[in-house]
């Protein structure tokens, strides 16, 4: 069955019977145009196959064989449908899920653009196929709610999967959005964005591990790729009063991996910056060449520097805080040093649980200060002690051998 050739009917050589046949073919072809005043074809699967009727509309509602809850559509018979025809297919019953098979084999097999099977579980999902020789080739698929597609290994998704072949030495983008946002002649816009994503989740029986507006899965870059990133920000915008490459306006941020800061040149170009509610900022500069130092800044001035040579405290102009400029050690903390490479550090100053400042390590003290009364005589103590007490003999010597202790005048006590 096909449309009559041009001038076939008007040819005086045609017989009445031939013209009747040609007009019948013409009518059948017109009726086969999808949606051309025809009701949907209600077809039931038989051994994973449907057979569209001759001259019927090209919109088909497919049901499972014997009303099964699941079934497969592997082939579409081509007997009554000429080459080049379009068929638009949906399922007739959401309780009878149909899986359209990709290249199941044989005449009338279906070639899906995703390269994998398509599960149709909604009556609002549609699949359009075109006959090309012995194949049915997918042209498009759609669905108001979603498409249950195997493109992401069974994840329910609406998929855009173009194949991009860039020219020599040119960039390539899978999807480009370039909207033009026009400001109003007056007033203030709270937000204008090139892309605004606001997913909506409907509660159900199941549980969700992660719910996100945008998810970027891990992927494999081809060999020879220098750098690859899940999210790549070329740089900050320009023209605004404040320009940020990335802005988290509120809430906590979580990072399960490491952050790399890369700066170039001697000037600090890679940093962490804290902006206080008053508008002042503190910078933490990390791994800055060539010195490899870690710098803490306050109000644009350097306050503390960690370098390979040690720690340099540069002070603070803030004289209103009692703790300004203090170095605080927790109980039992110490300041330690090392004189020879490969040798463990040795305590230089330690604060023990008795509030004793120990100058040195072990039981050998150069000097020590306690805030209370003198320590009891003990071989555990050795050195000169200064006690924070008003009684005579504030300064004492402990020999650390016999356990004896002596005031500065040599009197034992």
Per the DSSP assignment, residues forming a β-bridge with 398 are 383, 405
If you average pLDDT over residues 378-404, what whole number do you get?
72
Q: Report, in angstroms and rounded to the nearest whole number, the Rg of the chain calculated over CA atoms.
A: 41
If you average pLDDT over residues 216-226, what whole number do you get?
92
Residue 392, pLDDT > 80, answer no
If you average pLDDT over residues 369-378, what whole number do you get?
68
Higher pLDDT, 335 or 278: 335
In the prediction, which pLDDT does 397 show?
78
The answer to whether residues 270 and 287 touch, using CB atoms and an 8 Å cutoff, is: yes
In the prediction, which pLDDT does 294 show?
67
Give 27-49 pLDDT, tens digit per residue. 776 666 665 556 789 999 999 99
The answer to whether residues 333 and 347 touch, using CB atoms and an 8 Å cutoff, is: no
Residue 266, pLDDT > 60, answer no
Higher pLDDT, 107 or 175: 107
In the prediction, which pLDDT does 393 show?
53
Among 116, 68, 115, 58, CA closest to 90: 58
In the prediction, which pLDDT does 406 show?
80
- CA pair distance 391, 304, nearest whole angstrom: 41
Higher pLDDT, 296 or 292: 296
Confidence at 280, pLDDT banded by 50, 70, 90: low
The share of the chain scoring above pLDDT 90, in percent, equals 30
Confidence at 8, pLDDT banded by 50, 70, 90: confident
Confidence at 201, pLDDT banded by 50, 70, 90: confident
Per the DSSP assignment, residues forming a β-bridge with 275 are 281
Residue 309, pLDDT > 90, answer no
In the prediction, which pLDDT does 109 show?
97
Strand pairing report for 301-307 and 310-313:
antiparallel
If you average pLDDT over residues 383-387, what whole number do you get?
73
The answer to whether residues 314 and 296 touch, using CB atoms and an 8 Å cutoff, is: no
In the prediction, which pLDDT does 71 show?
96
In the prediction, which pLDDT does 63 show?
97
If you average pLDDT over residues 173-187, what whole number do you get?
89
Residue 227, pLDDT > 70, answer yes
Residue 352, pLDDT > 60, answer yes
Q: Average pLDDT over the chain, rounded to whole?
A: 77
Report the predicted TM-score, pTM, of the whole model to 2 decimal places. Answer: 0.43
Tokens at residue 19, please? 């013209």
Confidence at 282, pLDDT banded by 50, 70, 90: low
Domain ranges of the chain: 1-31, 33-152, 271-313, 334-407
In the prediction, which pLDDT does 389 show?
60
In the prediction, which pLDDT does 399 show?
78
Three-state SS sequence of the chain: CCCCCCCCCCCCCCCHHHHHHHHHHHHHHHHCCCCCCCCCEEEECECCEECCCCCCCCEEEEECHHHCCEEEECEECCCCCCCCCEEEEEECCCCCEEEECCCCCCCCEEECCCCCCEEECCCCEEEEEEEECCEEEEEEEEECCCCECHHHCCCECCCCCCCCCCCCCCCCCCCCCCCCCCCCCCCCCCCCCCCCCCCCCCCCCCCCCCCCCCCCCCCCCCCCCCCCCCCCCCCCCCCCCCCCCCCCCCCCCCCCCCCCCCCCCCCCCCEEEEECCCCCEEEEEEEECCCCEEEEEECCEEEEEEECCEEEECCCCCCCCCCCCCCCCCCCCEEEECCCCCCCCEEEEEECCCCCEEECCCCCCCEEEECCCCCCCCCCCEEEEEECCCCCCCEEEEECCCCCEEECCCCEC
In the prediction, which pLDDT does 287 show?
46
In the prediction, which pLDDT does 318 show?
47
- CA pair distance 395, 384, nearest whole angstrom: 7
In the prediction, which pLDDT does 320 show?
43
Tokens at residue 56, please? 């019927």
In the prediction, which pLDDT does 193 show?
93
């Amino acid at each position: 069955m096909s449309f009559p050739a041009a001038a076939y009917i008007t040819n005086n050589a045609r017989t009445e019977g031939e013209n009747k046949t040609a007009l019948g073919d013409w009518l059948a072809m017109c009726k086969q145009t999808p949606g051309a005043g025809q009701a949907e074809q209600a077809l039931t699967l038989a051994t994973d196959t449907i057979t569209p009727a001759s001259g019927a509309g090209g919109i088909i509602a497919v049901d499972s064989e014997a009303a099964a809850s699941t079934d497969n559509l592997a082939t579409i018979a081509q007997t009554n449908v000429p080459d080049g025809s379009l068929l638009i297919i949906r399922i007739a019953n959401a309780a009878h899920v149909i899986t359209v098979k990709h290249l199941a084999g044989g005449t009338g097999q279906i070639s899906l653009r995703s390269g994998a099977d398509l599960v149709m579980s909604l009556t609002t999902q549609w699949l359009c196929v075109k006959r090309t020789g012995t194949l049915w080739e997918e042209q498009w698929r759609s669905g108001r709610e979603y498409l249950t597609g195997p493109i992401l290994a069974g994840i329910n998704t609406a998929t855009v999967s173009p194949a991009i072949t860039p020219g020599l030495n040119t960039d390539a983008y899978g999807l480009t959005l370039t909207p033009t946002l026009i400001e109003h002649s007056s007033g203030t816009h709270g937000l204008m964005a090139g892309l605004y994503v606001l997913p909506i989740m409907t509660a159900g029986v199941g549980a969700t591990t992660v719910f996100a507006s945008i998810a970027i899965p891990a992927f494999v870059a081809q060999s020879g790729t220098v750098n690859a990133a899940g999210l790549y920000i070329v740089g900050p915008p320009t023209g605004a009063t404040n320009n940020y490459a990335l802005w988290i306006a509120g809430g906590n941020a979580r990072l399960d991996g490491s952050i790399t800061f890369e700066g170039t040149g001697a000037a600090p170009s890679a940093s962490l910056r804290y902006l206080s509610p008053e508008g002042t900022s503190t910078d933490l500069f990390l791994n800055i060449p060539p010195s490899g130092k870690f710098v803490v800044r306050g109000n644009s001035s350097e306050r503390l520097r960690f370098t390979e040579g040690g720690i340099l405290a540069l002070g603070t102009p803030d004289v209103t805080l009692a703790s300004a400029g203090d170095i605080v050690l927790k109980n039992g903390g110490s300041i330690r040093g090392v004189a020879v490479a490969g040798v463990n550090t040795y305590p230089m100053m330690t604060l023990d649980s008795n509030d004793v400042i120990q100058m040195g390590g072990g039981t050998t003290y150069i000097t020590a200060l306690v805030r209370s009364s003198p320590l009891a005589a003990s071989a555990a103590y050795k050195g000169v002690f200064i006690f924070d007490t008003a009684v005579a003999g504030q300064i004492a010597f402990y020999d650390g051998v016999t356990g004896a202790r002596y005031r500065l005048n040599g009197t034992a006590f």
